[in-house]
């Protein structure tokens, strides 16, 4: 095998490829495996070379010969250079296999001797390249890899295109990459083999850019900065890495409202055409780069009288995108705007902002530009910025409010009122609302280094605690300091004790203590006349009581709903609206729960409350899942998970719900992976409450995957955890039915019945009708396993009707499935049509696959069974109940799969039971059991 040295895969390429390129890599790899060719295309820096190298390393082992060329712009004028790169090392191997005329032309082109040209030796050269590839392919598959096709010298490009179009079934594949804009790859595709797959590399998402930067070691960048890197880079990995490197090397971060610093390497890349602009056109573009939403009208108002002609000149040079139908002035890439701004002297930038501070029509934009045009402190500028921040907050743009608030603090004099740190803390609180927890925490920590006023310090401590999210154990040292700062002020103490209530629940996993702490907080807040904290505490108390199955939950919810209300608390994910939603959902009031959470989700989106949006989207997904709308639930759960990954908020909880949705309507393997991720995140955070939820999701996914023993292992641990937490309401996780079913499948009907009995007692006390129905379904499986089939059939029929009336579509379908499986092999209808219809209605794809498997397993095997199957009275004496049932079904001619389906146990349990039967009866196979039944003893 001939492989150029520079084919070796750099160690860092494959990890980068995994970030955001999995699907296209798989598609390209599959195309190569099928014998086809691949053309990667996309703009500069998008990662084509990285993918190309990784594909070559991954697939190259399958080829006998691998040839490579990588062109550069500076060498593109040299004829036959790419051809020499490709064939230079293999010329000796193939030269004697070429006709003399072709060999002479090819050697002349590759060595530069004889001054070969396409004009003089065109046909001979074309045929020589084609013959050379065929000669190499005769000894084994050939992979030809070419990077940066756009710089290929024209002679080599012509020759390779000629050969590629005529290779036919010859085992020669091309793996190429070319720089393109939009869809400009057609001419390269026409020069490729007919079966070539064109793969466009698109920009990375914000989460993928963040993962890429983390992988390269830029791990300390705030989330707000990461968002700005993604915006400025346009999702281009090269641009993002260069911006991250520049920020990492910069001694001071950019000020609020300012674009990112653009390194020289990127400035040269995107501003190469800037020198062709006139000075006035360049100033016009600078004003456009300083504006948030530049238009021609705005540029005119800012004093750029010839904006039309100057922007047209920039568009002709490719600096601006042409949009003849719209008024917007849009840069061809966000990085051009950032680089242009970074290149300009500070005085010119301030002048541009000063012009925009009067030209902009939006008060927020006017205030921002005024701040960036002003140096030093200025009370008037600070006041206007604070007003603009309040306006942004009201508009549902807390991230903008945080940025404006920091600008206001910077322009506020040290003795101003409000003080600079008051405005910084408001900005930190806005950042929390926007999901920018890193920025919020950094602001609060900075304020704490100099704050002396107790109220100010408690406010900062609140931000620090809130920024910790579910990882409250990481800020344990904060609580004693905060309590000391609060002194005996009930208002301040209420704020600290509210956070302590959450710590009791999340870190210690003590629902009872958390409930008592929340009640204490509500009393303190009422004494301190802090209605917002009182309502938050009552909402938390109500939610805790609901999850515990505490009888006071309805009363506490009513207290939390009394007037006066607070709009923020009403729609917060830990507020009274969320507490009421949980109560409705657990009380089987699905339509009311859906309308409640839909309204809450709409409101938090309007307000820009990112953390609440993550949670409410997950709640809505859970509601749809309960209702049997698996497709809708899956879409919502995936979106919630994407938002959680982007924001870094609620990741474990979103992964847990996404696992349940995948197990019901998507991919079971993905469900298992997400459940493990959720459990790992909860363990890492020390979040006792969500460890059990994640393990319940894992147990459910294992049950759907057919791993009953694994499901039992996970769900037994959930049972132990929730007993320790004091959770008694089975509607909280609804895992009990799954545990009972899994126990039946592994041959433990006694333990399954115990789970059912204990859970039923709590469900009856709390009126959880859907839980009771699911428990009855599980009990029917227990009865079937014990041989009482008629009672099991009757129970399942009743359960299906009850679940249908309650609106639990997926649980209804599962009951129909169990009913069909129980009827298999018995007189009467055995059709799986009803279960299939109900699962299709739910779009429950994993369950439909189980139905298909059950139908296949029910297909009769050809087994010779003696006509007499009556048991001698003493034939099976000494066998346990389960062993007798399995043996009896063997005598009926049932296969192991059919026995498993009939008794609702796993095939492995059937096999283990039969092994015990053989040992006890002194026989060796299932045929011997049949002989026993027929009275013919094995010898």
Helix, strand, coil percentages for the chain (3-state, nearest 5): 70, 5, 30
**CA 648/CA 641 separation, integer angstroms:** 10
Which parts of 507-608 fold into alpha helices (H)? 511-527, 531-548, 553-560, 567-571, 576-586, 590-607
Question: Mean pLDDT, 10 residues at a time, over the chain (939 residues)?
Answer: 37 50 84 90 85 86 86 76 85 86 82 58 81 90 89 84 86 89 65 83 83 78 77 83 79 68 74 80 91 87 90 85 66 82 88 92 88 90 92 85 92 91 94 85 93 94 88 86 95 95 87 93 95 94 86 90 90 90 92 95 88 91 94 92 79 92 94 92 79 93 93 94 86 93 92 95 93 95 88 90 94 93 61 87 90 74 38 58 77 74 73 80 72 51
Residue 149 DSSP one-character state: G
721 to each of 671, 694, 744, how far by Cα in Å?
22, 12, 22
**CA 749/CA 688 separation, integer angstroms:** 30
What sign does the CA torsion over 866, 870, 876, 881 have?
positive
Tell me, what's the pLDDT at 265?
73
Contact 216, 241 (CB under 8 A): yes
Tell me, what's the pLDDT at 116?
53
Tell me, what's the pLDDT at 482?
95
For the sheet with 172-179, list strands across it. Answer: 2-3, 65-70, 142-147, 172-179, 38-42, 197-200
Residue whose C-alpha is closest to residue 577's, from 544, 614, 545, 616: 616
Query: What letters, b where the CB count within 10 A reaches 16 and e where it falls short, cover 817-833?
Result: bbbbbbbbbeeeeeebe
156 to each of 69, 128, 153, 821, how far by Cα in Å?
11, 12, 6, 67
**CA 634/CA 658 separation, integer angstroms:** 7
Rounded-to-10 torsion of CA 399, 401, 405, 408: 130
Rg over alpha carbons for the chain, rounded to the nearest Å, is 35
Three-state SS sequence of 212-279: HHHHCCCCCCCHHHHHHHHHHHCCCHHHHHHHHHHHHHCCCCCCCCCCCCCCHHHHHHHCCCHHHCCH
What six digits make up the tokens of 699? 């147990």
Tell me, what's the pLDDT at 825?
54
Tell me, what's the pLDDT at 801?
92
What six digits make up the tokens of 744? 């039946």
Residue whose C-alpha is closest to residue 577's, from 615, 550, 610: 615
Contact 781, 904 (CB under 8 A): yes
Angle at alpha carbon of residue 202, lines to 200 and 207, rounded to 5°? 150
**CA 588/CA 627 separation, integer angstroms:** 10
What six digits make up the tokens of 393? 């907050």
Q: How far is CA 325 from the centre of its chain?
A: 36
**CA 924/CA 914 separation, integer angstroms:** 10
**CA 221/CA 206 separation, integer angstroms:** 13
Burial status of residue 808 (CB atoms within 10 A of its CB: 0-12, 13-18, 19 or more):
buried
Tell me, what's the pLDDT at 866?
36
Q: Which helix (H) or strand (E) holds 647?
A: helix 630-647
The strand pair at 197-200 and 38-42 is best described as parallel
Residue whose C-alpha is closest to residue 293's, from 385, 240, 381, 369: 369
Tell me, what's the pLDDT at 531?
95
**CA 767/CA 147 separation, integer angstroms:** 67
610 to each of 220, 396, 461, 613, 698, how far by Cα in Å?
22, 10, 21, 5, 27
Q: Which helix (H) or strand (E) holds 328?
A: none
**CA 660/CA 680 separation, integer angstroms:** 16
**CA 263/CA 267 separation, integer angstroms:** 6
Tell me, what's the pLDDT at 694?
93
Residue whose C-alpha is closest to residue 328's, from 319, 320, 340: 320
**CA 737/CA 813 separation, integer angstroms:** 14
410 to each of 13, 228, 371, 386, 421, how far by Cα in Å?
43, 21, 9, 11, 10
Measured from the Cβ of residue 790, the count of other Cβ atoms closer than 10 Å reads: 10
What sign does the CA torsion over 559, 560, 561, 562 have?
positive
Residue 73 DSSP one-character state: G
């Amino acid at each position: 095998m001939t492989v150029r040295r520079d084919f070796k895969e750099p160690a860092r390429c494959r990890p980068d490829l995994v970030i955001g390129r999995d699907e296209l890599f798989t598609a390209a790899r599959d195309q190569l495996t099928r014998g086809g060719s691949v053309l990667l295309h996309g703009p500069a820096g998008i990662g084509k070379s990285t993918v190309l190298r990784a594909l070559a390393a991954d697939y190259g082992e399958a080829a006998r010969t691998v040839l490579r060329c990588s062109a550069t712009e500076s060498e593109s004028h040299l004829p036959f250079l790419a051809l020499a790169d490709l064939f230079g090392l293999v010329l000796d191997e193939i030269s004697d296999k070429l006709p003399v005329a072709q060999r002479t032309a090819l050697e002349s082109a590759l060595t530069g001797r004889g001054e070969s040209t396409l004009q003089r030796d065109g046909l001979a050269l074309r045929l020589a390249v084609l013959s050379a590839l065929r000669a190499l392919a005769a000894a084994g598959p050939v992979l030809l890899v070419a990077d940066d096709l756009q710089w290929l010298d024209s002679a080599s490009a012509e020759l390779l295109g000629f050969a590629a179009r005529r290779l036919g079934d010859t085992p020669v594949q091309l793996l190429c990459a070319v720089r393109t804009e939009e869809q400009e790859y057609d001419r390269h595709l026409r020069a490729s083999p007919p079966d070539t797959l064109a793969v466009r590399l698109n920009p990375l998402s914000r989460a993928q850019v963040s993962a890429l930067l983390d992988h390269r070691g830029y791990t300390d960048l705030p989330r707000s900065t990461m968002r700005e890197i993604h915006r400025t880079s346009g999702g281009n990995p090269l641009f993002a890495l260069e911006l991250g490197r520049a920020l990492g090397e910069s001694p001071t971060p950019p000020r609020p409202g300012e674009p990112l610093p653009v390194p020289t390497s990127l400035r040269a890349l995107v501003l190469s055409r800037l020198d062709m602009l006139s000075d006035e056109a360049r100033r016009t573009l600078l004003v456009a780069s300083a504006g948030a939403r530049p238009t021609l009208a705005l540029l005119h108002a800012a004093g750029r009288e010839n904006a039309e002609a100057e922007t047209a000149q920039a568009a002709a040079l490719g600096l601006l995108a042409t949009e003849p139908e719209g008024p917007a002035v849009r840069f061809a890439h966000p990085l051009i705007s950032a680089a242009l701004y970074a290149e300009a002297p500070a005085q010119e930038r301030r002048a541009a902002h000063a012009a925009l501070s009067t030209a902009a029509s939006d008060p927020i934009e006017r205030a921002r530009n005024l701040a960036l045009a002003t140096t030093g402190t200025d009370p008037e500028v600070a006041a206007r910025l604070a007003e603009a921040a309040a306006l942004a907050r009201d508009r549902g743009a807390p991230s903008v409010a945080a940025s404006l608030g920091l600008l206001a603090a910077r322009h506020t004099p040290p003795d101003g009122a409000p003080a600079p740190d008051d405005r910084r803390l408001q900005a930190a609180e806005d950042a929390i609302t926007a999901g920018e927890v890193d920025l919020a925490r950094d602001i609060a920590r900075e304020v704490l280094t100099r704050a002396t006023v107790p109220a100010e310090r408690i406010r900062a401590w609140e931000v620090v605690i809130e920024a910790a999210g579910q990882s409250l154990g990481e800020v344990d040292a904060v609580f004693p300091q905060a309590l000391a700062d609060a002194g005996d002020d009930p208002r301040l103490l209420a704020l600290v004790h509210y956070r302590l209530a959450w710590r009791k629940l999340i870190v210690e996993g003590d629902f009872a203590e958390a409930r008592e702490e929340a009640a204490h907080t509500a009393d303190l807040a009422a004494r301190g006349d802090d209605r917002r904290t009182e309502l938050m505490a009552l909402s938390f108390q109500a939610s805790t009581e609901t999850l515990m199955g505490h009888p006071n939950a309805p009363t506490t919810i009513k207290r939390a709903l009394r007037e006066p209300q607070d709009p923020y608390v009403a729609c917060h994910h830990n507020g009274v609206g969320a507490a009421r939603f949980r109560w409705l959902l657990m009380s089987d009031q699905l339509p009311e729960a859906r309308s409640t959470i839909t309204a809450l989700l709409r409101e938090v989106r309007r307000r820009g409350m990112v953390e609440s949006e993550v949670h409410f989207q997950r709640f809505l997904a859970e509601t749809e899942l309960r209702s049997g709308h698996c497709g809708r639930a899956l879409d919502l759960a995936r979106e919630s998970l994407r938002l959680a990954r982007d924001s870094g908020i609620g990741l474990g909880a979103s992964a847990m719900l996404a696992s349940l949705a995948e197990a019901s309507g998507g991919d079971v393997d993905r469900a298992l992976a997400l459940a493990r991720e959720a459990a790992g995140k909860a363990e890492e955070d020390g979040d006792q409450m969500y460890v059990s939820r994640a393990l319940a999701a894992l147990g459910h996914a294992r049950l759907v995957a057919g791993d009953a023993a694994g499901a039992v292992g996970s769900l037994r641990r959930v049972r132990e955890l929730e007993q320790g937490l004091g959770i008694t309401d089975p509607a909280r996780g609804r895992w009990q039915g799954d545990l009972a079913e899994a126990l039946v499948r592994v041959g433990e009907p006694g333990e399954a019945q115990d789970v059912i009995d204990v859970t039923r007692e709590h469900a009856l006390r709390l009126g959880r009708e859907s839980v009771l129905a699911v428990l009855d379904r599980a009990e029917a499986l227990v009865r079937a396993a014990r041989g009482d089939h008629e009672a099991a059939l009757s129970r399942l029929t009743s359960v299906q009707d009850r679940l249908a009336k309650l609106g639990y579509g997926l649980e209804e379908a599962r009951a129909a499935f169990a009913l069909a499986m129980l009827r298999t092999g018995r007189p009467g209808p055995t059709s799986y049509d009803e279960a299939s219809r109900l699962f299709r209605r739910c779009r429950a794809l994993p369950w439909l696959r189980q139905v298909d498997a059950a139908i296949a397993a029910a297909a009769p095997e050809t087994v010779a069974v003696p006509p007499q199957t009556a048991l001698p009275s003493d034939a099976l004496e000494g066998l346990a109940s389960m062993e007798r049932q399995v043996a009896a079904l063997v005598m009926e001619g049932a296969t192991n799969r059919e026995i498993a389906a009939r008794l609702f146990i796993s095939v492995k349990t059937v096999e283990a039971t039969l092994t015990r039967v053989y040992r006890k009866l002194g026989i060796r196979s299932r045929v011997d059991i049949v002989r026993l039944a027929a009275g013919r003893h094995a010898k």
